[in-house]
Amino acid sequence: MRKVFQEELQKVHEDLVEISRLVATALDRAVESLTNADVELAQEVIAADARIDFLQTALDEKAIEILALQGPVASDLRIIVGSLRMSASLERMGDLARHVAQLTRLRYPEKATPESLAGVFARMAELDKEIISEVTALLEDHDLTRTSRIQAANAELDELHAGIFRAIADQTWTGSPSVAVDVALLSRYFERFADHGVSVSRKVSYLVTGEWDGDNTSN
């Protein structure tokens, strides 16, 4: 019975890693569609999000089944509860990648970002890619040195996010109201993506150390 239980825990772990990899792919393709105003690629990202949703639901159902039938305690219980919360964060990251693609589709054939802010958004996207890459690796190897890199990338992204809002609030801003809304939304998507990545890293740290440093991430 214990062997079956450990196999079930391993399957939950593998599913988390798979979801994280799918999120990384979704983000990469969403950014490409945004950069190139590629509406076909954007549509593919939007459609592919259903796979992430399906896997998250399946993982949660499996985790709840383990809770009900196996009655895990101590570290095993932390793994199951933590997996439920991490799957929710990863699913939300997939949604945010989809939102980027949806904005691309909405503004096609025009680009959704003004040229004056293209470099800033490119850096935000780069930081989010770094975060999801580190999150995936962290889920695989539980190397907590990765958490500091995730937090550093998130801190830089928060600064860029604040800079975007200062730019559109400045008197020198010449963009239309619709462009200002697009820019604000896109910046928010990238910023929240990073926040959820930090949330996952904190939960992995908790699983490894048993110590909780708090998590105020919300949707």
Share of the chain above pLDDT 90, in %: 78
> What is the domain-level CATH number for residue 68?
1.20.58.220
- Domain membership flag for residue 20: yes
Convert the pLDDT of each residue in 156-199 to its tens digit.
999 999 999 999 999 999 989 999 999 999 999 999 999 999 99
Give mean pLDDT, residues 135-144. 96
3 pLDDT band, cuts 50/70/90, is confident
- Domain membership flag for residue 31: yes
State the pLDDT at residue 216. 58
- Domain membership flag for residue 91: yes
pTM of the complete model beyond 0.75: yes
State the pLDDT at residue 57. 96
* For residue 1, pLDDT beyond 70: no
- Domain membership flag for residue 161: yes
- Domain membership flag for residue 215: no
Give mean pLDDT, residues 21-38. 98
What domain count does the chain have?
A: 1
State the pLDDT at residue 75. 76
- Domain membership flag for residue 21: yes
Which of 15-19, 96-100, 137-141, 212-216 bottoms out in mean pLDDT, i.e. has the lowest? 212-216
State the pLDDT at residue 106. 96
State the pLDDT at residue 113. 93
State the pLDDT at residue 88. 96
Domain range for 125: 2-209
- Domain membership flag for residue 107: yes
- Domain membership flag for residue 216: no
**How far does CA 102 lie from the centroid of its chain?**
16
State the pLDDT at residue 211. 77
* For residue 68, pLDDT beyond 60: yes
* For residue 218, pLDDT beyond 60: no
Average pLDDT, the chain: 92
